[in-house]
Amino acid sequence: MKLIRPCLVITAFLLLVCCLAYPAAVTAVAQVGFPRQANGSLITQGGRVRGSSLLGQTFADNAAHPEYFWGRPSAASVDGATGVVYSSGSNYGPLNPALHAEVRARVEALRATGVTSPIPVDLVTTSASGLDPHISPAAAAIQVPRVARARSMSEAVVRALVAAHTEGSTLAVLGEPRVNVLELNLALDAR
């Protein structure tokens, strides 16, 4: 009996600290110090939210949209009942025949659009999260002729847009140069 009261007091205290005070403090610091990131790094255009710079977005059928740069394939799946997207990798090992078939199909689809050069791996394989918003500069470069042709633009103009949207390594040492596909496509639409 003597232990019940201290246990209840400690439980109530920890609930207040861990479930109210700490989350409120973290949220306040994030909103003051990093408001864009804390709110999802949303990209707006014309007063409308077009997406997040942190999440890759795909079209239902890339072939139906040759005027856009295509991002990395996604292994994310959508729950049919709720519409919620679940982030996931394919979990296929390098020797899995299903992985080979998927990659072969993606290579053939890119070849059908006129790509004759070597195809960067990020255009034919999914990432671990399935939601990467970036592609490599090489993956963007092989798409320039298709996008320029579909938009009746010169390849030089499209290449300049790719260069303008190529981000360098983080802190000059972390990661590789990359191109945010959504931001590049929105810049193309704005022209």
Going from N- to C-terminal start, the domains of the chain cover: 33-190
pLDDT at position 62: 61
> Can you list the positions of beta strands (E) in 47-177?
48-52, 77-78, 85-86, 134-135, 166-167
Q: Which stretches of the chain score pLDDT less than 70?
A: 58-63, 77-80, 83-86, 88-90
Of residues 154, 128, 142, 130, the one with CA closest to residue 179: 142
159: part of which helix (H) or strand (E)? helix 155-164
Largest CA distance in the chain: 82
> For 13-64, what is each residue's pLDDT tens digit?
999 999 999 999 999 999 999 988 888 888 888 888 887 777 777 655 566 7
Distance of CA 66 to the CA centre of its chain: 19
pLDDT at position 74: 78
pLDDT at position 59: 52
> Can you list the positions of beta strands (E) in 123-190?
134-135, 166-167, 178-180
C-alpha distance from residue 187 to each of 65, 119, 135, 157, 191 (Å): 16, 24, 16, 12, 7
Q: Which amino acid is at 40?
A: G
